[in-house]
Amino acid sequence: MKFFFVSFLFLILSGILSPSAFAQTLYFNTGTSYPAGETFPVTVFVDTQNKLINTVSGKIKIDPTKLTITNVSYGNSIINLWVEKPTINAVAGTISFVGGTPGGYSGNNGQILVLSLRGNAQGLTSITANDVKILLNDGMGTEISSTAKPATITIGKALEKAAPKATTPVTEGVVENRAGDTRPPDDFVPIVSRHPSVAHNKYFISFSTVDTDSGISHYEIAEEKRWVPATGPLVWTPAATPHILKNQLWGTLIYVKAYDKEGNMREAYAVKSFDNSLVFLMALLGAIIAMFIFRRVVFRKDKPHRTKKV
């Protein structure tokens, strides 16, 4: 009897404490039924399960015979550094994206995207996400377990519409650059990460800022190894986001300069930690050296002293 009780308890705990129960989840917030021909919003959220993350990627999939993607917006997204901006493939019915957030995000309702979909034909259909990857904000781009919760929608009969009223076209104003711009671009925070879809999982840095007066002209980057004495001035090179880092193993300080079109500059920096493989090799080398010293000390202590013959 005791054996069966223990086995039953083990099965319950296995189900409750399984890795999937704590996996970070991408999920959709929308209604359950819409009429054909109507456009409706679908908000994509991430639940980090109390983990601090900085990169989210995936491919959202719909049935293009039942739904049409009319738009995708990310103005209120927690993602503000896009490695790959949301890209619509209307024929395949997919939206792919890769993005990060400086400083990381932790919560259960992190808004990623807002989709605008239109129902084409009556029936049951679903919205899913594939290839979901979520990386920790740990300086090493550690990938964590993630899932995607699909949404099921019923497309009903189309509504009868009244004739549309005539509208007067509105011409949007054009904001001209201000003369005599002396303000630098806005503050920004570069983010270091890596992703399997970018340069074969190499470390990269993403960055972005704005200049409301004259606009952004270009960016420059310089890398400096940590714990290594500087041998000269920093070497600055033109760069665009995402920028693949030269130092993939060593801990690095990465400086980023943003220039506006009037020559004003704003500087920011990010820190890249030592790569796990380098940390492992250093720990292994330290263990070997410690073992060698220990053997020498023990061997010398146990070795009998020889006495000279008179």
* Cα–Cα nearest to 120, from 7, 222, 15, 37: 37
Identity (one letter) of the amino acid at 202?
Answer: K
3-state secondary structure of 289: helix
Listed residue (17, 250, 205, 55) closest to 143, CA to CA: 55
Residue 131: predicted pLDDT: 92
Q: Which residue has the tokens 């549309």?
A: 164
What is the rounded distance in angstroms from the CA atom of residue 157 to the CA atom of residue 146? 36
- For the entire predicted model, the pTM comes to 0.58
How many other β-carbons are positioned within 10 Å of the β-carbon of residue 299?
9
C-alpha closest to that of 195 among 148, 141, 245, 147: 141
List domains and CATH numbers for the chain: 21-156 (2.60.40.680), 191-277 (2.60.40)
Low-confidence residues of the chain, pLDDT below 50? 1-21, 170-177
Q: Which amino acid is at 297?
A: V
Encoded amino acid at 308, one letter = K
Tokens 């009868």 locate to 160
Give residue 296's pLDDT: 73
pLDDT in tens, 31-50: 999 999 998 999 999 999 99
pLDDT of residue 145: 85
pLDDT in tens, 96-128: 999 988 778 999 899 999 999 999 989 999 999
Please measure the distance between the N-terminal and C-terminal CA atoms of the chain and give it in whole angstroms: 81
